[in-house]
Amino acid sequence: KVLHAAADALIPVVLELGGKDPMIVFEDAHLEAAAHGAINGCFINAGQNCVSSERILVQRSIARDFEERVSAIAQSLRVGPSTKKGSVDVGAVITPPQLRRVEALVNEAIGEGARLVVGGARLDEGMGSFFQPTILAGLKPSMPIMNEEVFGPVMLIAEFEDFEVVEAGTGAQAVEA
């Protein structure tokens, strides 16, 4: 309806129609490049970018190797207030309420059986609204974190088998790659 109304009035419009921004990593991918791409996609602007990757769908045969690679990179990221250009890799979560929301979604997922790979906690309260770059695996499509936008520095790794991408909380059916 918005696009139709804009078209009738010849008003330029951009609509964000995506959701949960997946990245798919097949077993023939260059894993080091894929790991760096996933880190950049998930943690740029502390994950507060409308096109940030949130769900990384990884073929089961390479999932552990991929997790190890992204884990090592995530643990090396510098988090905190920027003192000069290039002094940090991950900045603050936009507001204290959003920080609490990110923390709640992560804790709820862990409580429902998600495996914490890296991070998972806010940083020293005196620093401001900072959350560790976090990676979760072993996720189920029904978990709220798989269906709600996190808008924070959280990577969700979901595995799939062969060349079928399994449903990952999007309502999509399995598709041939």
Query: Which residues are annotated as catalytic?
Result: 16, 50
98 with 151: CB under 8 angstroms?
yes
Distance of CA 146 to the CA centre of its chain: 10
DSSP string, 9-35: TT---------S-EEEE-TTS-HHHHH
36 with 139: CB under 8 angstroms?
no
In angstroms, rounded to a whole number, what is the distance separating the alpha carbons of residues 101 and 152?
A: 9
